[in-house]
Amino acid sequence: MPPSLADRLEHILDAIAGIQLLLRTMPPEVIESDRIRRLALEREFEIICEASRHVPPTVKARENSINWQRMIDLGNRLRHDHAYDRVRIDILLDIARDELPPLQAFVERIMAEESKR
């Protein structure tokens, strides 16, 4: 059975929490220079991007301030770019700072609404 919307939303929240924990406990320079930590950061973003691809358009339409296409594009780049070292950490940090908080708030709101149904 494929993951439900609730499962996908939970995956997004878990990955956001992982990114926040990593950024709270490690300076960006350490993440950038430590291959394992950098891969962990990239993997959390991949999870967010992949789960977001499966959120129905009707749900996404409820929050048009989130750049859903950019999220899909980032996931594609992380998964398919053959020059893996070209994913710039500063871009991931900017996304974490600027785009993850509104995404987290949206996902939490949708989960609360869905639980009332």
Domain boundaries, the chain: 5-107
What does the pLDDT look like over 60-107, one tens digit per residue?
999 888 999 999 889 988 888 755 566 788 999 999 999 999 999 999
The predicted model gives 8-29 an average pLDDT of: 96
Q: What pLDDT is attached to residue 11?
A: 97
Give the pTM. 0.92
Q: What pLDDT is attached to residue 86?
A: 67
What is the token pair recorded at 88?
């710039």
Q: What pLDDT is attached to residue 82?
A: 57
Per-residue confidence at 114, pLDDT binned at 50, 70, 90?
confident
What does the pLDDT look like over 29-65, one tens digit per residue?
999 999 999 999 999 999 999 999 999 999 999 988 8
